A and B are shown apart, each in its own frame.
Chain A
Amino acid sequence: AQSVTQLDSHVSVSEGTPVLLRCNYSSSYSPSLFWYVQHPNKGLQLLLKYTSAATLVKGINGFEAEFKKSETSFHLTKPSAHMSDAAEYFCVVSVTGFQKLVFGTGTRLLVSP
C-alpha cells in the first residue's frame, strides 16, 4: 500500500532563510506525489505535483520539490521563507488516481521575524 512519511512535525525558520520540509514515500508503483498547504482556518491548497514528468517540480509561491526515486523522497524547498509561508504542509501520494489520496501527518512551518 502506498504511504507517505513526513519526517518533521514542526519546522522553525527565520524569515529570509531556506525552507526544507521532508517527505518519504512508499509505493509499489510509480506514484503521483503532491504537496498541499493549509493556512489557519482555511482549506487545503495544492502547492505542486509530480506525475512522472520532470523530477524537479516548481510550484506556487516559490516552492519546489524534487522527486528522488533512489531515496524515495519528495522534499519541499524554498530558498527564502516569508512570514506568509507559516502554515501546515501535507505531503500526499496517489497511485490509483486522485480519488484515493493518502495524506501525510503534516508539518507545521513556523516563520519568525
Chain B
Amino acid sequence: DSGVTQTPKHLITATGQRVTLRCSPRSGDLSVYWYQQSLDQGLQFLIQYYNGEERAKGNILERFSAQQFPDLHSELNLSSLELGDSALYFCASSTRGGTGELFFGEGSRLTVL
C-alpha cells in the first residue's frame, strides 16, 4: 500500500459527459502528480501541483483541469469526454525535497462509451 488513495477505482460514462477523479496523497506529501496511461500513448504526465499551486504541466488537454485543495487532496476534472479519453488515470505524490521517488495510487479506470 503506497498510501495514495484514488477514487473511484472504476468509472463508466458516456461521450460528452464530465467526471471528477479524486486523489488523496500520502500523509505529509505536498506534491501531487496526475498521469494518464493508455494502450496507444503509454504513460503520459498530465500535471503537477505543489502545496496548492500548479508546478508543471505536461500533455494535458484543455478539456481537462485539475486543482489541489488546502487539505492537499487533488481532483482531476475531465469534461466533454471522448472515446479516446478511456484510460487509467494515476495520481502520485512525493515529499518535498525528495529523491525523485513517486508514490502511485492504484489508479482510476475510466471507460467512455
Binding site for A on B (CB under 8 A): 2, 4, 31, 33, 42-45, 48, 50, 55-56, 58, 90, 92, 94, 98-102, 104-107
Contact = CB atoms under 8 A, between A and B. Distances in A.
B99 A51 contact: yes
Contacts of A98: 94, 98, 100-102
Interface string A28-51: 000010100000011111100101
A99 interface: yes
B56 A99 contact: yes
A34 B103 CA distance: 13
A43 B45 contact: no
A14 to B, nearest CB: 28
B45 A49 contact: no
B45 A100 contact: yes
A43 B98 CA distance: 19
Contacts of B55: 99
Interface residues of A, number: 22
Interface in A81-113: 90, 94, 97-106
A99 B104 contact: no
Nearest to B55: A99
Nearest to B2: A43
A43 B4 contact: yes
Contact of B102 (A32, A101, A102, A104): A101
A105 B42 contact: yes
B43 A49 contact: no
Nearest to B107: A43
Nearest to A50: B100
10 nearest A-B residue pairs (beta carbon): A43-B104, A98-B100, A103-B43, A44-B104, A99-B56, A43-B106, A46-B101, A99-B48, A105-B42, A43-B105
B104 A45 contact: yes
7 contacts: A32-B100, A43-B4, A43-B90, A98-B94, A99-B31, A99-B56, A103-B42
A51 B100 contact: yes
